[in-house]
Structure 1
Amino acid sequence: SDTIYGSDPTEWWTLNSLDYVIDGVECTGAEQSLQECSFSLPSSCSTPARVACTGAEECAGNYANFYFPTFAIPILVVLGVGVLITARVIWVVRKKRRNRR
């Protein structure tokens, strides 16, 4: 299976703020640097950076190979806000209890 590094161009939350000088990069795996891979000049600088590792054992074994599903982002935001609100409520309740004494 393919492993995607960088941003997924199909997702709405992708941030694209840089211009790219190469496009359609294809490597065989024998290259010593990215500059040795075949590439073309970009027709548009509007797509985000993305690298897919395919067909090699190294793709599956690399610690950086992961996919963070987009549905998890709003869940994590809601959980984070919930933790902050809970901490604030606890702080206010404790402060009120101290003031009563």
Structure 2
Amino acid sequence: MVREDGKRNFVMREDGDEDSVYSGNMPRQAALKAARRLDPDDSESEAEDDSTEIRLREKGTDKVHIFEAWAWEQEAPDDKPDWMGEEITKGNVSKKGIEHIED
């Protein structure tokens, strides 16, 4: 279901449980937010080799968007704000497909 601001809500599915909610205009935007919560590797190349499957169900529908996701840590940019730490977590995703839930 689309909110007034155009964003949609997606729920992370793990072993039938749905607990974390991510929002975004598109499923990929929500998946990128979810990917940043994964345990990060030291570099992007290591992280991509160690990817994790994440499943996001769009609230109000039976669609489950499936992504391969990975995260890594890297140095923060030189022009970072004062509150930001020295290391930041980056994430990336690759869409595998969509499944429909049958209840």
TM bin, normalised by shorter chain, reads under 0.3
Give the TM-score normalised by structure 1.
Answer: 0.23
Determine which structure has the larger helix proportion and give its number.
1
Larger Rg: 1
Give the TM-score normalised by structure 2.
Answer: 0.23
Higher RCO (C-alpha 8 Å, min separation 6): 1
